[in-house]
Structure 1
């Protein structure tokens, strides 16, 4: 029997897919394209609510691999318990680094240089000149130093920073320098002018940015979140923003989408973008390259890339 592959992109739009597979298009529609029980390789629809992405997984009795098109996999984790042992969960490492790195840099520069205020001034025909902070000579702390955190540092490199500190789950050394373990984060926070969050959402990072974390940040520091909304305690952040002690730029929020009337919309010193770190013109070509490579590996029984975990292991 030819294995079924569920794709959220039409197979005819992806050059180089291997033969020997039965490609089914499904991008979260109410109707399934075939019996989920026959699906061997499931590519999770991109930018769909978690309940949609997880809906067929309870019936995927034959699936061998689940591939997300997002860097994070938190949205599918609750449904892994329905899958048989040995299913490989893969993320989209290599797809979002460029776009998310660009956005992190954009949020930093826009926040420091007062761009939101200039836009409001333009709307009111006001000339808002003056001195504004520069990125040059600032100290940056990157919390979550995987491939996206590394890409963010790559884009910060030309800006004559005073220092970049890196934090990840465990200590290691990279070509750019030392990566500190998460246990050293409290000592690093008071030294940073800018704190960038690019960590995955896990049990250990949910609510990581709480009142204690924020209190350790220096006066006037900027918090930038391009990770996941629940990494930050929204209530604690609001208290700090309303005090005027720090500023922030958020591409992700908790709750998300941010509902009308939520106090974050009008919090002082806050710039919000609507979770657009990944969905850019750079996404599709990189996603297609990943899928072609992964499916060739799958057909040829070679190790898959970006395996985050294997069920039952």
Structure 2
């Protein structure tokens, strides 16, 4: 495959250790394509550039064999899979964002529970406002979407002396930390949880999962932490609970995204918002480089890449 191209959103020289079997092309979403897309066999999607940019070259890549995202979620690329050449593999970036996103999930939970946003506002106004606020210690956590990021969140919860951690995924199974419940168990588990972490991918089954009924089952004073996708949550239903003061929320993702300056979520009581930065930390590039090196070495050796989530067919 010496004449075949690999498109990378990171300059190849910055990755290093790439197999010599391919010609490497750097493209990070610019208007002009840097080479003929028809020569591309392995396309690594630009990071956080949106759906339109991500899928734009795909219609011009008839020889494509692998699409590699640098995100854990693939909802921005997956709709294009049916139109890809038969047998093309879609791979996600499992493992790349575990540390960074889990770290932010804990940061959001701790900051919200200990009322850090209120303390910052008081500091800005020069007010000294002591108080007694909830701790993460002795709380029950519920992790919905128990993949590698969900597991990494639990790893970081344990030292904070939580009372219990319940795990939920699409199907029930046993994980190293304990049993993983199916989504059908949520009605039973939600009333027990003090903090609910959303880490699930956005699929037809999870879009709008957190609706009015879901939120109504959460206990009074519980905290919802969303580091998944904004559309997993019904924004109107969440706003109603926030405005009543019954629940709190810490959101790295929203629906819509980005939020317009006048959106009511900005002003809702008890909400902390960060601008979709779960994976965007100094931990990203080293892990992304390692992933691309490993995937391309497997591909060059004629082996199937890891983390395949869909196959065109």
TM-score normalized with structure 2 length: 0.99
Structure 1 runs of 4+ aligned residues shifted over 3 Å read none
What CA deviation, in whole Å up to 9, does each residue of 1:28-82 have, x standing for no partner? 0000011111110000000101101111111111000000000000000121122
- Indicate if the aligned counterparts of 2:81 and 2:311 stay in contact, CA closer than 8 A: no
- Superposed displacement of residue 241, structure 1: 0.3
Identify the residue that residue 180 of structure 1 maps to in structure 2.
181
Secondary structure of 1:61's aligned partner: coil
Identify the residue that residue 278 of structure 1 maps to in structure 2.
279
- Aligned partners of 2:143, 2:281: CA distance in 1, in Å? 23
Gaps of at least 5 residues in structure 2 are none
Identify the residue that residue 222 of structure 2 maps to in structure 1.
221
- Aligned partners of 2:83, 2:7: CA distance in 1, in Å? 18
- Aligned partners of 2:125, 2:208: CA distance in 1, in Å? 38
- Superposed displacement of residue 20, structure 1: 1.4
- Indicate if the aligned counterparts of 2:83 and 2:312 stay in contact, CA closer than 8 A: no
- Aligned partners of 1:77, 1:92: CA distance in 2, in Å? 14
Identify the residue that residue 96 of structure 1 maps to in structure 2.
97
Identify the residue that residue 145 of structure 1 maps to in structure 2.
146
- Superposed displacement of residue 97, structure 1: 0.2
Gaps of at least 5 residues in structure 1 are none
Identify the residue that residue 118 of structure 1 maps to in structure 2.
119
* Matched length: 312
Determine if the alignment matches structure 1 residue 238 to structure 2 residue 239: yes
Secondary structure of 1:5's aligned partner: strand
What CA deviation, in whole Å up to 9, does each residue of 1:186-230 have, x standing for no partner? 110000000000000000000000000000000000000000000
- Aligned partners of 2:86, 2:22: CA distance in 1, in Å? 22
- Aligned partners of 2:134, 2:202: CA distance in 1, in Å? 31
Identify the residue that residue 72 of structure 2 maps to in structure 1.
71
- Indicate if the aligned counterparts of 2:103 and 2:153 stay in contact, CA closer than 8 A: yes
- Aligned partners of 1:279, 1:18: CA distance in 2, in Å? 27
Identify the residue that residue 10 of structure 2 maps to in structure 1.
9
Secondary structure of 1:80's aligned partner: helix
- Indicate if the aligned counterparts of 2:88 and 2:311 stay in contact, CA closer than 8 A: yes
Identify the residue that residue 209 of structure 1 maps to in structure 2.
210
Structure-to-structure mapping, 1:159-198, within 5 angstroms: 159-198=160-199
- Aligned partners of 2:59, 2:242: CA distance in 1, in Å? 42
Identify the residue that residue 266 of structure 1 maps to in structure 2.
267
Identify the residue that residue 248 of structure 1 maps to in structure 2.
249
- Aligned partners of 1:20, 1:304: CA distance in 2, in Å? 16
- Aligned partners of 2:285, 2:85: CA distance in 1, in Å? 30
Secondary structure of 1:153's aligned partner: helix
Secondary structure of 1:154's aligned partner: helix
| Aligned-pair Cα RMSD in Å | 0.7
